[in-house]
Structures are given as structure tokens and as C-alpha cells.
Amino acid sequence: MTRDVFIPRNLEALWDLLDEDPESRVFAGGTDLFVRLRRDQAVHPSLIGLERIEELQALEEDGPDVFIGACVTHARISASPLVKKHFSVLEQAVRVLGSPPIRNMGTLGGNLVTASPAGDTIPPLTVLGAEVEVRSRGASRRLPIREFIRGPGRSVLEQKEILSGIRLRKDNVHTVHHFEKVGQRNALAIAVVSLAAVLRLSESGVVERARLAWGSVGPTVITSREVERIIEGRPLSRQVLEEAAMQAQKEVSPIDDLRASADYRRRVAGNLLLRLWTRLKTLDES
Amino acid sequence: MNIRFVLNGKPLTVETPPDRRVIDLLREDLGLAGTKECCGSGECGACTILVDGDSRLSCLMTAAQLEGRRILTIEGAEEDPRLRTIQEAFVEWGAVQCGYCMPGMVLASAALLSRTPNPSREQIREGLSGNLCRCTGYQKIVDAVEQAAALLFRGHQ
């Protein structure tokens, strides 16, 4: 059976298509959906590709914010001077996402709507306090990324709504941006555990603010004020991070799967915090 | 549906179901069997093609997405001196073993060299990190790309 595939050129055309057939599946890069459709031949909705809708392609400054359209590819994000300057933690994450062709195809919006527990952009966007913009014909709403993703593969998107982009406040607050992913290999690795961290260090090295988010160790991203509070208000040291790592192991809720055991994930979730120390040492020396 | 695009430099109109996978369109309908299918799920890079100059995976694209695009497959090497230079470097440096990954490797190398004309070995490894060689002959592949880069880069001077 043949599926229809529509490639609308603007939002108006998209809303018309969605009105006509609200069951259609919307896709951006297709790197996730086409793998799933092939596995599940029984699903035969028509498909709508968002790749040519201009409004979803913007990557631009908007006063104190930066707006990244849902269909901006990971390759474009990783090449953007604006992202590198203000959101290094996001740039570090997309640089190791998938592989070059996957980064040329896959989009930021697609990564969020897919809502995989291992989605590489979700921890960085969480620590940066990203807001998600959701649109439908004649309406738009904004919500924090934490409220957008409801569980593995589930977002708050309703029928005939799309994710149109994300909005980030330019980060003048944090002095350290760090992302690390542990996978089974370097390229094309689905995260076994990932950690996004942004810190504000005072001149004397005291952590004034810490925001941490782990991927792949729970149904969605894991954050913990408990762990952040252990780090905040103290000079950053290996000992402080060890304390925080102990707590982090209690806060995450990983599962066993074909890529790693829950025990291993728990241990690595803590150890990734210790790697933050190694990383700062390297930055100091350079 | 009718889809118009440019394939290896030649404008083309094809009549095809819109959800036809691009790899099937190329191999089965157009007889261009140079593009290989291996994993069918975006993990191996064997089916890499260039779409408007960027590497993409033809197993994860539908025909409808080709409308108006410029597509380059390995068969385009006949008309494309850059691809030829890369191919010849692969042969000369013994980078070809079973050969199955080669079309994807050559196209990924072309995409890399158009953005990074003079890459380090590390950049070559990263540029080809989406392409698996099941014979694991990576050293010689990196050597070949280094050689191709030197030839092409010198050609530009």
C-alpha cells in the first residue's frame, strides 16, 4: 500500500493538510520515523514532511533570546556561531549526535518530539531553561521543555499541533558549559548515560549556581536540586563532586536494556560528574 | 506522482509512488545499483548520497523529498572530476577490500572535502564516522582521503 507524502511549502498549507487528515504523521528529518515505519508496516497514515516550511528554518537572535526553528538540522546548530557563543553545552551535544549524515537530516524539533530518554539535545536544553513553542492554526503557546516531554516517546502535542521551535535566553549567567555522553562507541552511539552541566563560578572558584541534567537514566531527563545544592555555595573540588556523585546515584532511575545494565548506568551517572573536574582542570591548563 | 530533480547533473522527471524509498527508486527503478543498502536504518552509511551537496541516507528518504533537489550518486563520478580523484586515491592506496561501503565512503569523503579541503586525520575520521567498513580497513581509507585531499587541494592552488 502506498502512503501519501506531502511536503507543504508554508504553514498555511500545513494546516490545510492537517485539517483534511488529522491522523497524518508529521516528520522533520525522518531519521527516526522512517526506521519505525519500516519496522511497523501496519501503520499506514499519510506523511507530512516539514522540511521546506520557511518559518521552521529560522536560527536567529530575537532581542535577549535566540529562536531555533524546529526544522533546523543538527549540522546547522553545530555550525552556528550564535549557538557556540551562547549555548556551548548544546553545541557540544549536537557535535556528537548520530553521524554526519544523521546530523544533516535530523532536526532539533525532531529530537524533542521523538522524546527518546536518550535524546541528546534534551539535557542541554533542560539546563539552559529552554522554552518550547507549539503552534496550530491561529494559535501558539509556549511552555518549558520540562512540561513538553511527558515520557518516553510522548510529548504534550495534540492533534493538529506542531512544535515550531525553541526559545533560549542568551546565557550570560553560566561560566562553564559541559556535555558528555557515554555510549558503546563514539559515532552513531545511543547514549548509555549523558550529562549536561552549566555552572557559574565566582572569581575565587565558588560555585554560585549549578544546573545538571542526565539523559538515559530515567523515562525522561533527570534533574535534581538535591545534587545541585551539594555543589552550590562551595568551592568546586574533587571532594565536592564525589559527594554530589554519591547523591546523583540515588536520584537517577535507570533500567537494564541491551545497551547497559541499570547498575552500570547508575555508576556512570555519578562518575560523569567527576569528569567535570577533569574537564575544568584541562580548561585551567589551556 | 511526478517528481522532478537533477540526478548526477541531468534533469529528470520520474513517475513514482511518493513514499518510494530513495534507495529503491535509485536501484530498482532507475537501475543505478552503485548505491548500496546494508542496515536500512541509518546506522551504516552504505546508502549515502549527496543532496544539494550534503550527505544524506537514501534508505531514510522518500521520493517526494527529492523534488527540486540536486542528487549525486556514485554513478556521477563519471562526470565529476572530484569524485574520480577520490575514487582513484582509494584504489591507489588499497582502501578497497570487499567494496560494499565504497560508494558511501567516496561520497562522504567528497562532502567532507568540500567543507574541509585540507582535513587532519582526526577530521577525516570524524567526517567518515557515519560510514561502516565491514572489512574494517579504516587506516587505508583515511590514508586515501588524505591523499585525495592533497591532490584536490593542490589542484586548487
The ipTM assigned to this model is 0.97
What's the predicted TM-score (pTM) here? 0.96
H/E element, A117:
none
Picking from A7, A104, A187, the nearest residue to B129 by CB comes out as: A187
A41 vs A129, residue with greater confidence:
A129
Q: Whole-angstrom Cα distance, residue A12 to residue B52?
A: 26
Per-residue pLDDT band for A286 (boundaries 50, 70, 90) equals low
Query: Are residues A129 and A144 in contact, defined by beta-carbon separation less than 8 angstroms?
Result: yes
Determine the residue among A1, A4, A5 to mutate to test chain B binding: the one whose Cβ has the most chain B Cβ atoms within 10 Å: A5
Q: B113 and B148 in contact (C-beta within 8 Å)?
A: yes
CA nearest neighbour of A86 among A58, A59, A55, A108:
A59
Find which of B1, B5, B24, B62 to mutate to test the A interface (most A CBs within 10 Å of its CB). B62
Band the pLDDT of A44: cuts 50, 70, 90: low
Neighbours of B78 (CB within 10 A): 10
Judging contacts by C-beta atoms under 8 Å, the chain B residues touching residue A105 are: 56-57, 60-61
Distance from C-alpha of A205 to C-alpha of A214, rounded to nearest angstrom: 24
Cβ contact A27:A113 at 8 Å: no
Chain-chain contact of A105 with B65 (C-beta, under 8 angstroms):
no
Give residue for cell 506542531. Answer: A162
- Can you tell me whether residue B97 is helix, strand or coil? coil
Asked if residues B92 and B128 have their Cβ atoms less than 8 Å apart, the reply is no
How large a percentage of chain A has pLDDT more than 90? 87
Q: What is the mean pLDDT of chain A?
A: 94
- What residue in A sits closest to B109 (Cα-Cα)? A100
pLDDT band at A281 (very low <50, low <70, confident <90, very high): confident
Q: What does the pLDDT look like over A46-77, one tens digit per residue?
A: 999 999 999 999 999 999 999 999 999 999 99
Binding-face residues of B in 13-42 toward A, CB within 8 A: 17-19, 21, 40-42
* Chain B residues with CB-CB distance to A38 below 8 A: 40-41
Check whether A222 has a pLDDT greater than 90.
yes
**pLDDT value of position A43:** 66
Q: How many contacts, defined by CB atoms under 8 Å, are there between A and B? A: 82
Using CA atoms, how far residue A101 sits from A168, A285, B36, B61, in Å, is 26, 35, 15, 12
Model pLDDT, residue A283: 73
For chain B, what percent of residues have pLDDT higher than 70? 98
Inter-chain residue contact A6 with B64, CB threshold 8 Å = yes
Query: What SS3 class is residue B139?
Result: helix
Q: Are A107 and A73 in contact (CB under 8 A)?
A: yes
Cell of B42: 541509518
Q: How far is CA B74 from CA B23, B46, B54, B93, in A?
A: 13, 11, 14, 19
How would residue B66 be classed by pLDDT, with cut points 50, 70 and 90? very high
- Helix axis angle for B81-92 and B102-115, nearest 10°, is 120
Beta bridge partners of B57: B48
Q: What is d(CA B37, CA B33) in angstroms, rounded to the nearest whole number?
A: 10
Average pLDDT of span A104-120: 96
Q: How confident is the model at residue A284 (pLDDT cuts 50, 70, 90)?
A: confident
* pLDDT, tens only, A71-105: 999 999 999 999 999 999 999 999 999 999 999 99
Decide if A98 contacts B43 (C-beta within 8 A).
no
